[in-house]
Amino acid sequence: MTRVLGYRLFQALLVALTVGVLTFIMIRALPGDMAYRIAAGRYGYDMVNTDAANAVRTELGLDQGGTTALGQWFSDLVRFDLGVSVVSGEAVIDEVRHQLGHTVELALAAVLLSLLIGPPLGILAGLRPGGVIDRGLLLVSSTLRALPHFVVGLLLIIVLATGMGVLPAAGHGEPQNLILPALTLALGLAAVSSRVARDAMAGVAGSPYYAFGRTKGLSDAQVLRRHGLRNVSVPIVTYLGVQFIYLIEGVVVVETLFAWPGIGHALVHAIFARDVPVIQGTALVMGLMFVLLNALVDLACYLIDPRRQAA
């Protein structure tokens, strides 16, 4: 286990390095004059002129070489300083912390909701492969997975918010504001995790040890509880680690759609304004979160599966 966690730590270092360099290069490679974009971010598009842009350029030293700027960012990073937003002048760490809280809230709600929807349906389907539930679930999950987040989100808004009026379409602050964005993400996650659970359950239910459990005299519920759930949960939990990528990608779209003040939302705005420190800081924190979550997945698998403890 120590070895696995050590590996994750090493991975975290690599992520910091890669994310820092890549975001920096990509932002520099974007077309347009950075100084104009930053000035627009600060003063609004109507107020930008060459003087304002030049003032920004001089202030931020944008003419200096890329290597120097990147080197500066890394040396600050070692001191756990993510720098200052070139647009708002606030410390990046404060912006990220503020927005990350909202995002974590949304992501956590989405994952929990998806776990309540996906695996139970998948297990039901997997117990009777080819049955009504199985075929219905295949149709629904393929459709949901094929639709982009914003379409699913919009459909939910149209049906539940504008149509039936039971939930607010967008906003933040009230608990019910969380439901639609979380559900949008959760449906996408559950579409896949239900398939993973279904295949795992079908495999386990068809295994010799499952059949042996039955002929030993256990009831269906007992076999499922004793020999089904643990064996099925290992692939489901492992797959969660992969799903976090989907989640991070989804957060950006869903936060924008539902006007949720999270980190994904902030990232999009920072890119428009070429706010390099914020982009680097945000991407870094997201990358590190990804590593942390995968470490948690490892830990969960370790606790569930005695084979890993024995190894």
Partner 1 sequence: MTALLVADGVRVFARERIVEPASLSLHPGRPFTILGETGSGKSLLAQAIMGTLPKGLRAEGSVTIAGQRLSLAVGQGHRSLWGRVISVLPQEPWLALDPTMRAREQVAEGYGFVRGLSVADAARRAQVDLANLGLADASGKLPSQLSGGMAQRVAFAAARAGGARIVIADEPTKGLDVARRDDVIALLLREVAEGGGLLTITHDLALARRMGGDLAVMLDGVIIEQGPAEEVLGDPQHAYTRRLIEADPAHWPDGQPRKAAGAPMLVAEGVGKSRGGQRLFSGLNLAVHPGEIIGVTGPSGCGKSTFGDILLRLLPPDEGNVRRAGGQPAIKFQKLYQDPPSAFPHRITLRRAILDLVKLHGLDAARIEPLMARLRLAPALLDRLPAEVSGGELQRFALLRVLLLDPVFLFADEPTSRLDLITQQEMIELLVELARERTCAVLIVSHDAELIRKVSDREIRFTGKKDLDQVEPKAA
**Site residues (vs partner 1, CB under 8 A):** 207-209, 211-219, 222, 226-227, 230-231, 234, 305-307, 310
Residue 251: both structure tokens together: 């957060």
Cα distance between residue 272 and residue 279, in whole Å: 10
**Distance in Å, CB of 303 to partner 1, minimum:** 12
**Distance in Å, CB of 186 to partner 1, minimum:** 28
If the CB atoms of residues 67 and 215 are measured against partner 1, the closer one turns out to be 215
Evaluate whether 143 touches 119 at the Cβ level (below 8 Å): no
If the CB atoms of residues 196 and 304 are measured against partner 1, the closer one turns out to be 304
Evaluate whether 12 touches 288 at the Cβ level (below 8 Å): yes
Residue 297: both structure tokens together: 């997945």
**Please, which residues bridge with residue 91 across strands?**
84
DSSP code string of 27-69: HHHSSS-HHHHHHHHHH-GGG--HHHHHHHHHHHTTTS-HHHH
Cα distance between residue 74 and residue 24, in whole Å: 11
Evaluate whether 28 touches 70 at the Cβ level (below 8 Å): no
If the CB atoms of residues 97 and 128 are measured against partner 1, the closer one turns out to be 128
**Distance in Å, CB of 112 to partner 1, minimum:** 25
If the CB atoms of residues 72 and 207 are measured against partner 1, the closer one turns out to be 207
If the CB atoms of residues 233 and 282 are measured against partner 1, the closer one turns out to be 233
If the CB atoms of residues 27 and 237 are measured against partner 1, the closer one turns out to be 237
Evaluate whether 111 touches 182 at the Cβ level (below 8 Å): no
**Distance in Å, CB of 207 to partner 1, minimum:** 7
Half-sphere exposure of 28 toward its Cβ, with a 13 Å CA cutoff? 14
If the CB atoms of residues 141 and 238 are measured against partner 1, the closer one turns out to be 238
Count Cβ atoms within 10 A of the Cβ of residue 250 and give its class: 0-12 exposed, 13-18 middle, 19 or more buried. buried
**Distance in Å, CB of 209 to partner 1, minimum:** 5
- Provide the CA 8 distance to its chain's centre, in angstroms: 18
**Distance in Å, CB of 134 to partner 1, minimum:** 14
**Distance in Å, CB of 128 to partner 1, minimum:** 10
